[in-house]
Every structure is written in structure tokens, then in C-alpha cells.
Chains A and B, each alone.
Chain A
Amino acid sequence: MGERFVTRGFVGRRDAPGAGGDLRARTPPGQYLTSDFPVLSAGPTPRTDLDRWSFRIEGLVDRPIEWTWDEFLALPARDWVVDISCVTKWTHLDMRWRGVSVDTLLEGVELDPAAAFVIAWCDGDYTTNLPLADVLNGQAFVAYEYDGAPLRPEHGGPARLVVPARYFWKSAKWIRGFRIQAADEPGFWESLGYHNRGDQWLEERYSGD
């Protein structure tokens, strides 16, 4: 995947001085802190059998790649502790996940030089769009555990994308793959007035913000 993608930030805002640190400094503008994990869905919870689940990377790659559930679990994974902010204004600090970094997933393909955007697509016909530069270098992962347990269906299980540096609608539930494109393509909410990028620190809630 070339040198032209540079790190634009780090997940989790780990600059806060420990658990007793300044919580306000870790809370993006306009957000309130919660220890809940609200369930917000644009549709019914899909129930895809794990023996029929797969994760596929297609589009501007030398050859599409697809993992079964067992193959996906065998990929190198790590624990992530990150702060999550939803555009509905809740922020939950130090959410604990386990999953595979997008960097690891993209090691399975060779990107076309024109590749610039990732379209995450999901069961339930949900999509969200992200620049490749926003998901590389440890900025995003596909999670299948939350707080030490398998990710529950209402929270996006069996697997969801997690992009901590963006509002949570970018962290697509029930993810099934990436389509790599040269051109951007606004996703489910981005095409209905929500911000195309969704940086919670810049309060990019709506298009035009």
C-alpha cells in the first residue's frame, strides 16, 4: 500500500493523563459522557449465520480476497481501548474491543495506484465511505469482541468496523467487506445531509459544518 498515505492522527486520544485525567479534554465539543452503550440502528438487526459469513475486499485491488469467519478469527488481532463519539451526542471513553486492524486486512491485497476511498458495506444494506488515509496506520479496525465478549448483534456483531476518530456512524455495524474505489461515494447517512468526513473534534455533524 504505498507511502503516500500518511498518519493524520492517532486513535483514542491517549494524551489524557491516565484514568484520573481530564475527562473534559477527552470529550469532543457538543458531546456528553456516558458509560452506556446506546443501540441505534437504521434497520432490523441482521442475523447472518457464521458459517455463511465472509469478509471481502474488492474493487481497485489486484485480486479480491475473502475470509471465512474462521479464517478471519485466525488473522492477527489485538486489543483496542478507544474513545467513541456518536453524532447523537454521547461519548463513551475507554471502550475495549478486540479486532483486526484495517492495515492487516489490506496486507491481503495489492492496491491499485488509483485507490483512494474505502466503501464499507454491510448486511442490512448499510454503507459508509472513508478516505483510505483515514483508516490506515492503526486508525481503524474490524472488531468482533467488545468488553471481553463476542460482539452482540445489536452492537454490530458478529463484526463491525470501528473508526474512533470519526462519529460512530462511520463505524459500520455488521460489516461484510470493503470496496476500494478511486472516487468517493457518500454512504447511507452521508448521502442524506450528514457530513462526508465526520470528525467529532471539528464537530462535522452535517454537510456544511
Chain B
Amino acid sequence: MSELKQELKAKIIENLNLEDFSVEDIADNDPLFGDGLGLDSIDALELIVMLDKDYGIKIADPKQGKDIFVSIDTMAKFIEENKK
């Protein structure tokens, strides 16, 4: 799980062009949206594509994203439970 979390942090920085952040800057329970990494709605869509492309997980209902993309912790847990 720890390896997956590190991987997710690196992918988020790379895919969402977060040039001001490094993997070490992101805590596992930091909020991804709002006051945390400050992601926006386009980033949320990009995360949905990332789950599909890199982990084979399709999110049918985008509203699910609200619970999945809370933090690195919640993302990693969801991937562990759903990856194919």
C-alpha cells in the first residue's frame, strides 16, 4: 500500500503538472481539493482518466469521485479494493 501511495503522488504531480510540489510535500491524508493541493474540476476528470488508464478502474458515476479523491489514503484504498 505504501508503494502505491508513493506511486500515486508521483503520477498526480506528473499528470496534473503540479510543478510547485514534490512527492515529499504531499502527506497521505492531505486534502487533494480545496486547501490541500488545490486541484480543480478538470483535475478531477484527469484523475478519473488516470484510474481507468493506469489501473483499469472505470468510474461510471463521476459523483463517486467526491469520496474517492479525498486524499492519497482514500485513492489508494479504492484502487486496492477495485483494481483488476
Asked if A and B bind, the verdict is: no
